[in-house]
Chains A and B, each alone.
Chain A
Amino acid sequence: MRIEITPLHPVFAGECSGIDTTRPLPHATVAAIEAAMDRHAVLVFRDQHLTDDQQLAFSQAFGELEFTHGTGISKPGEQRLHPAFADVSNLDKDNNILARDNRRRLYSLGNMLWHSDSSFKPVPAKYSILSGRVVATTGGETEFADMRAAYDALDDATKAEIEPLVCEHSLIYSREVMGFDDLTEAERATMHPVRQALVRTHPGSGRKSLYLASHIGTIIGWPIPEARAFIRDLTEHATQRRFVYAHHWRPFDLLMWDNRATMHRVRRYDGSQVRDMRRTTVAGTVPTAVQAAE
């Protein structure tokens, strides 16, 4: 099965045409999309008028889905969407726009920091799939950075230095940076730091990449301020414009990205406008590092 990919950026990201993601896909098509993901790391499918069920079905073609329950601050009963969805909107369960000082809104502003989805889980995510149901008319772009190209561009001394390093990731760290610290004990308990290799190798492409995220709080064995300063330098390197693709949303764009090879972030938008995006997340299958003994 051949699928048509138009490159969107010199080093990664492509627009995929000729596929209707609302319908069940043959194995060959799924395999072709996976091969394209190995190569491009971010794929854009235009004009995909999906229902939530159709998005679930499409996503499940690539593996088991992550459930959002038990991560972050979302609580059962307050959720607008099926528990396999991350609600990346500014709406409450009754579809009202969240107030400026709404706790969930302030928490979700952490998505404006560069990150890789679920890097705070012992087995982090494979793909994320984001459907733009109602998009912001100005701002609200999603930006992606190619962590393979960023790795390749490091000098040899830095590559050697970072090869054995292991980082600690937690939602607590990215929220702390934003000054969001009113987490309950129960929430903190779900955000126990996990370990991830700083350099990971992609199982499909064999390419190495920087495994960075604003969820990183330290490097094992390093003094914390030294670790944070170094991670900031690496993040700045990795998010230079030459490694970044900015996606300007159209309604019913479906985006799919490989969290093992990219970081992403959302840009600011006018919070008085509805932005309704729904994310499904395909679980990873292997850890990147040995966890600390309890």
Chain B
Amino acid sequence: MTIAIHPIHPGFVAEVSGIDLAHPLSRDAVAAIETGMDRYAVLVFHDQPLTDDQQMAFSRNFGELEATLAGEMTRPEERRMVNELGDISNIDHRNRIRARDDARRLYALGNRLWHTDASFRATGAIYSLLSARVIPSAGGNTEFADMRAAYDALADATKREIEDLICEHSIAFSRAELGFTDFAEAHRAKIAPVRHRLVSTHPVTGRKSLYLASHIGGIVGWPVPEARAFIRDLMEHATQPQFVHAHVWRVNDLVMWDNRTTMHRARRYDDMNQVRDMRRTTIRGTCTDAEQAVAA
């Protein structure tokens, strides 16, 4: 088999064929995927039935795995999977659909806001890899937005204005936007804001992109409402239809995206009646891009 990469959107996103992710990959295959990621930012692999161990093994080709915050917030005996896997599902550890007012469900609704995974961590995340085990019959698409193309399309004056801006990110901001404030006191430390540059440069391609997420609560040095209004404008710009691809899931799709160059969000589905079981691995970021505030 030879790996083939077919672009499916004018600006980003490609489908990869000729590869079986369940088995160990050659160095060349890993390099080909990384090159594809640098170019397309989102890669789709169809028909990849994976066990959790296989998904983790494939993911480790690209770096260390990061535990998800939602996993960390769930009691160990109530987790459906090991902590290196993010449980992106609407079922509990006994495989029952979560109740409408279940706090885990309400927390997870934050994924319907545009975001980049782990931007609330000082080192962010490199790739996320999402495997679809069970999907609903309608809805539940994942949409991606190309933050490089969005950056390129900004007016020069805006590029100059934002070049050195630093944003504060916290999971608490995106959840507050949805009216979810039910964080256990033990997790307060994990939701303390971290700082990232608004304009990031990809370490391999050198392309600039907007590092946006609904986790942003402020811009350092700006009055908060002015920062929020401006970030909303930038988000709206960056998620215009020409920068967006909607992935319509098939069972056993594995989709991999670069959090440094894209945002994504989940769309609504009938989660009271249909199961959606997706499992995410996340490659930990390796460096900070902004000086963090000194803890008070």
Contacts and interface: CB of A to CB of B under 8 A. Distances in A.
Given A225-B106, A229-B109, A177 B178 contact: no
A232 B113 contact: yes
Interface string A95-131: 0000011000011011011000000000000000000
Nearest to B178: A225
Contact of B229 (A109, A217, A230): A109
B156 interface: no
B233 A226 contact: no
Contact of A228 (B100, B177, B227, B228): B177
A218 interface: yes
B24 interface: no
Contact of B217 (A100, A109, A179, A180): A179
A179 B228 contact: yes
Nearest to A102: B223
Given A223-B106, A225-B109, A230-B268, A217 B225 contact: no
A178 B179 contact: no
Given A110-B225, A223-B100, A225-B110, A218 B268 contact: no
B38 to A, nearest CB: 30
Contact of A218 (B110, B179, B230, B232): B179
The winner among A217, A223, A225, A227 for most chain B CB atoms within 10 A is A225
Interface residues of A, number: 28
A112 B226 CA distance: 10
Give the interface SS of chain B, mostly helix, strand, loop or mixed.
helix
Nearest to B173: A179
Contacts of B110: 225
A112 B268 contact: no
9 contacts: A101-B223, A106-B223, A177-B228, A178-B224, A223-B100, A228-B178, A228-B179, A229-B112, A233-B268
The 8 closest A-B pairs by CB, nearest first: A224-B179, A179-B224, A225-B178, A178-B225, A225-B106, A106-B225, A225-B109, A112-B229
Interface of B: 100-101, 106-107, 109-110, 112-113, 175-180, 217-218, 223-230, 232-233, 267-268
Given A225-B110, A229-B178, 18 more contacts: A100-B223, A112-B229, A112-B233, A175-B225, A178-B224, A179-B218, A224-B106, A225-B106, A225-B175, A225-B180, A226-B100, A226-B106, A226-B109, A228-B178, A232-B112, A232-B113, A268-B229, A268-B230
